[in-house]
Amino acid sequence: MSESFPKIALLGNPNAGKSSLFNLLTGLSQKIGNFAGVTVDKKVGTFKATTQEEFEILDLPGTYSIYPKSFDEKVVFDVLTDTKNIDYPDYLLVVADASNLRRNLLLFSQLADLEFPILLVLTMNDVALANGQSVNEEKLGQLLGVRVIKINSRTNEGIDQLKTSIQHKEFKVPNKLYDYKFVAPEIVESIPQIVPNANGYKALLLAHHFESMSTLSSLQKSEIQQLLDKVEFNSKTKQARETIKRYEAINTIVDEVIISLNKTKAQNYTDLLDKIFTHKIGGYLSFLIILFLVFQAIFSWASYPMDLIDKAIGLLTGLINQTFGSGPLVRLVTEGLISGLGGVLIFVPQIALLFLFIAVLEESGYMARVMFIMDKIMRQFGMSGRSIVPLVSGVACAVPAIMATRNIDSTKDRLITIFVTPLISCSARIPVFTVLIAMIVPSKLIFGIFNLQGLALMGCYTMGFLAALFTAFVLKKILKTSETSYFIMELPSYKLPRVKNIWYTIVEKVKTFVLDAGKVIIAISVVLWVLASYGPGDALQKAELEAINQAQSSQITYTDLQLLIESKKLEASYAGQFGKFIEPSIRPMGFDWKIGIALITSFAAREVFVGTMSTIYSIGQGEENNDTIIKKMKAEIRSGTNKPMYDLPLSLSLLVFYTFAMQCMSTLAVTYRETKNVTWPLLQLVYMTGLAYVSSTIIYQLLS
């Protein structure tokens, strides 16, 4: 057999259980790609019926109808209406929620009119049963003219039957449910003369959407426009009429196939839980409690695997150094490549944990309620209820948070959310904040319970949060969009999350991060390493000699000498030179060239600031060194004066800088990955760093 297997596209309403079915059929063979020209993710997997027979399964975004209302839905339209599209399927597997059959059959009826061979899968039969209803699938199959299979992805009921049916290709072109031609007979007849192959229902769809279709020539478009003008085609009225007529046809069918079980409705947990989760006080309170538990878990659990990754990278580096010595090439591998890889892997535990919780909350149906109670607040700032998940996740790490903006269907809302999320203080800022706060704020209790340093830390978080809201508010005014932002969404009934779905979500998110953002991070790490390890000409050797000479005049130990050499070398490196070069421009903020070096190296990740400071001040890298750094930095004298360098103005200025500045290449990489556009990460970099620069300068100049 040839390389190309029959292509099956998986379609259905959102929340109908499409992803569960996709996971069941394809397992870990899933691959994530892109649909041509758009940022929508494309998930493809392989279903192995036998060792010889395989099917390629394409998971299309959930949609309520073939008439696109968002970019996700546009993809569905594009794939199904263009026979030349590389994703054009041979068969359709349509998933419908049995507890909500009417609404789910709308999409089916449209797909039927496109004359695809279809197999219909009914999910949520247990939910329907709990509502006292059952669907007669035989009857439904007869009326629709397709094979109907009931499944339960929790118990795997019906899955084997479905697999056999797919293997035997039991896909059938459904019966005509209603006559779409009556909507606009002239159109259906004339369009095929303008666009060959656009027969039947496709002709009608073309009349509605030709303007946004890239497959049509401008001549074809103008011809269609002329035709529409001639028959006074009103797209909206026609669409509304079509939908109403379709529902009429569907209602007759549904009335025949639904069996009422005449039993009292089972206790409705959804209504009960909604009383709590959407309550005026209870709603917000339960959200805060859940948030608190999630962050506790992330901060306490993620540190173990993160330490392990750190140790493993250290071990690997040591092993390579022992085996191959420490030549320049080896150092490039260990200190550039491998430490860059470590910088990527270190995020994995946080990403995995965060998406574990997001997936659980989403699968259970709770997330929709959070969006529901937060929507009005978020709307004031140009976002929607859907932005709440990324913003809150940003407290842990902006990288998974930005990846979580996928479910925001309005492009404008999504871009604003991506843009402002890095302003929310993430966990990588904590080490920097801790050192700087310790320098200016005494560790004292006020009112007997509040730790002063803790309050200062909270201040930094508040500052970031306010900046995010302010920025969003400004962007809301600037950004223009033709897309309407809807909040018309289903509030799904509460369900127990499925372990398998959660696992696949985690694997997918981690894979996307490591493969896509990872490349950028490693590349920048290598560049930064080169900058910090090499200098112009023999500058580094000179620096080493100078350190040795200096050491001879004052008796110091061997370890201290090594630290002194490292410090002098860093000063002489390109990074050091660059730090000195930018000193004039960072002086308004009160920074000197030493901080300049730290700014450059900590562009990789904010927490590197502390490490670089220890190198500059010749302190051995390692744990329990915070106190030493703080002591050394406190003792530093501003050159040309006899005042301490790290006084209140400078420390505050640095704190503000690290709160606002875009000192994180991983975030930039992931913004690029999610927007598929260099402009957004660049704007983010310029805006955040600019905001940091201006704020720090004002603070320093006012206070000093």
**71 is an interface residue for other proteins by CB under 8 A:** no
> What is the phi/psi pair of residue 555, to 5°?
-65, 115
Q: Is 106 in the site for other proteins (CB under 8 A)?
A: yes
Q: Which of 5, 71, 284, 295 binds other proteins (CB under 8 A)?
A: 284
The stretch among 94-102, 325-333, 412-420, 536-544 that binds other proteins (CB under 8 A) is 94-102
Query: From the list 266, 312, 377, 548, which residue makes contact with other proteins (rule: CB under 8 A)?
Result: 377
Residues paired with residue 259 on neighbouring β-strands, in sequence order: 134
CA angle 497/507/491 to nearest 5° reads 35
Q: For other proteins, which stretch binds (CB under 8 A), given 63-71, 78-86, 467-475, 551-559?
A: 63-71
Report whether 318 contacts 333 (CB < 8 A): no
Rg of the chain taking only CA atoms, in angstroms: 30
Residue with smaller CB distance to other proteins, 246 or 569: 246
Residue type, 459: G
- 69 touches other proteins by CB under 8 A: yes
Cα separation, 221 vs 218, in Å, equals 5
Phi, psi at residue 46, to the nearest 5°? -115, 130
- Residues 137 and 120: their CA atoms lie apart, in Å, by 10
Determine the length of the chain: 704
Q: Is 295 in the site for other proteins (CB under 8 A)?
A: no
Distance CA 48, CA 5 (A): 10
> Is residue 289 at the binding interface for other proteins, with CB under 8 A as the rule?
no
Q: Site for other proteins (CB under 8 A): which residue of 88, 295, 301, 372? A: 372
Among 197, 23, 33, which residue's Cα sits nearest to residue 95? 23
CB of 489 to other proteins, least distance (A): 5
List strand residue ranges (DSSP E) for 2-105, in order. Answer: 7-12, 31-34, 41-48, 54-59, 91-97
450 binds other proteins (CB under 8 A): no
Whichever of 387 and 697 has its CB closer to other proteins, that residue is 387
Name which position in 142, 239, 550, 625 contacts other proteins (CB under 8 A): 239
Two structure tokens written together for 376 = 């009005």
Q: In whole angstroms, how close is the CB of 422 to other proteins at the nearest point?
A: 28
Segment 22 to 51, residues that bind other proteins, using CB under 8 A: none
Which residue in the set 373, 467, 520, 605 belongs to the binding site for other proteins (CB under 8 A)? 373
Per the CB < 8 A criterion, the answer to whether 16 and 104 are in contact is yes
> CB of residue 10 vs other proteins: minimum separation in angstroms?
20
Asked if residue 166 lies in contact with residue 172, where contact means CB atoms within 8 angstroms, the answer is no
Least Å distance between CB 121 and other proteins?
19
Candidates 7, 103, 632, 634; binder of other proteins (CB under 8 A) is: 103
Q: Which is nearer to other proteins, 324 or 487 (CB)?
A: 487
Burial degree of 211 (CB within 10 A; 0-12, 13-18, 19+): exposed
By CB under 8 A, tell whether 165 contacts other proteins: no
* Span interacting with other proteins, options 231-239, 512-520, 654-662, 677-685, rule CB under 8 A: 231-239
SS3 call for 70:
coil
Could you say which of 56, 72, 223, 274 contacts other proteins (CB under 8 A)? 274
Does residue 269 touch other proteins according to CB under 8 A? Answer: no
Which C-beta is closer to other proteins: that of 282 or that of 584? 282
Q: Does 521 bind other proteins (CB under 8 A)?
A: no
Q: Is 236 in the site for other proteins (CB under 8 A)?
A: yes
Give CA 144 to chain center in angstroms.
Answer: 39
Q: Is residue 99 close enough to count as binding other proteins by CB under 8 A?
A: yes
Candidate residues 20, 65, 471, 671; the one interacting with other proteins per rule CB under 8 A: 65
The closest of 228, 13, 217, 224 to 109, measured between CA atoms, is: 13
Q: At what angle do helices 218-230 and 201-209 cross, to 10 degrees?
A: 100
Encode 127-146 in three state secondary structure.
HHHHCCEEECHHHHHHHHCC
In this complex, which beta carbon is closest to other proteins, that of residue 84 or of residue 236? 236
CA distances to 107, 192, 206, 220, 321 from 198, rounded to whole Å, are 20, 5, 8, 12, 66
CB of 597 to other proteins, least distance (A): 49
Q: Which of residues 471-510 bind other proteins (CB under 8 A)?
A: 484, 486-493
| Among candidate residues 511, 552, 560, the one with its CA nearest the CA of residue 673 | 511
Integer Cα distance of 369 and 385 in angstroms = 9
CB of 247 to other proteins, least distance (A): 5
For other proteins, the binding residue among 1, 86, 219, 244 (CB under 8 A) is 244
> Does position 126 bind other proteins by CB under 8 A?
no
From CA 279, how far away is CA 136, in angstroms rounded? Answer: 38
The yes or no reply on residue 279 touching other proteins (CB under 8 A) is: yes
Binding status of residue 62 toward other proteins by CB under 8 A: no
- Look up tokens 């054009």; give the residue: 88
Residues forming a β-bridge with 135:
258
Q: With H, G, I as helix, E, B as strand and everything else as coil, classify residue 220.
A: helix
Among 243, 364, 434, 625, binds other proteins (CB under 8 A): 243
Helix or strand run (H / E) with residue 702: helix 679-703
Report, in Å, the least distance between residue 642 CB and other proteins: 57
* Nearest CA among 513, 509, 532 for reference residue 603: 532
Which residue from 85, 152, 225, 270 is in contact with other proteins, where contact means CB under 8 A? 270
Closest CB to other proteins among 56 and 274?
A: 274
Residue 470 makes contact with other proteins by CB under 8 A:
no
Instruction: Establish if 245 lies at the interface with other proteins (CB under 8 A).
Output: no
Dist CA 427 CA 676 (whole Å): 26
Cβ-Cβ contacts under 8 Å for 56 (sequence gap 6 or more): 4, 5, 6, 7, 8, 44, 45, 46, 47
304 binds other proteins (CB under 8 A): no
Least distance between other proteins and beta carbon 102 (Å): 6
* Token pair belonging to 438: 């310790």
Q: Identity (one letter) of the amino acid at 34?
A: N
Could you say which of 32, 49, 54, 64 contacts other proteins (CB under 8 A)?
64
Position 142 contacts other proteins (CB under 8 A): no
Count of residues that bind other proteins according to CB under 8 A: 43
Q: Which residues pair with 157 in a beta bridge?
A: 152
Q: Which stretch binds other proteins (CB under 8 A): 65-73, 157-165, 289-297, 391-399?
A: 65-73
The residue among 251, 277, 215 whose CA lies nearest residue 77 is: 215
How crowded is residue 150: how many other Cβ atoms within 10 Å of its Cβ? 20
User: What interhelical angle do 269-277 and 282-324 show, nearest 10?
Assistant: 90
In the structure encoding, which two tokens stand for residue 654, read together?
């640095």
Q: How far is the CB of 394 from other proteins (least distance, A)?
A: 23
Task: Confirm or reject binding of residue 1 to other proteins (CB under 8 A).
Answer: no
Q: Do 580 and 595 form a contact (C-beta atoms < 8 A)?
A: no
- Report the relative pairing of strands 118-123 and 7-12 from DSSP bridges: unpaired
Interface residue with other proteins, options 22, 67, 91, 171 (CB under 8 A): 67
Q: Which of residues 379-408 bind other proteins (CB under 8 A)?
A: 385
- Minimal distance in Å, beta carbon 376 to other proteins? 4
CB of 118 to other proteins, least distance (A): 19
306-365 positions binding other proteins, by CB under 8 A: none
CB of 374 to other proteins, least distance (A): 8
CB of 292 to other proteins, least distance (A): 19
Q: Which residues bind other proteins (CB under 8 A)?
A: 64-65, 67, 69, 99-100, 102-103, 106, 131, 236-237, 239-240, 243-244, 247, 270-271, 274-275, 278-281, 283-284, 368, 372-373, 375-377, 385, 484, 486-493
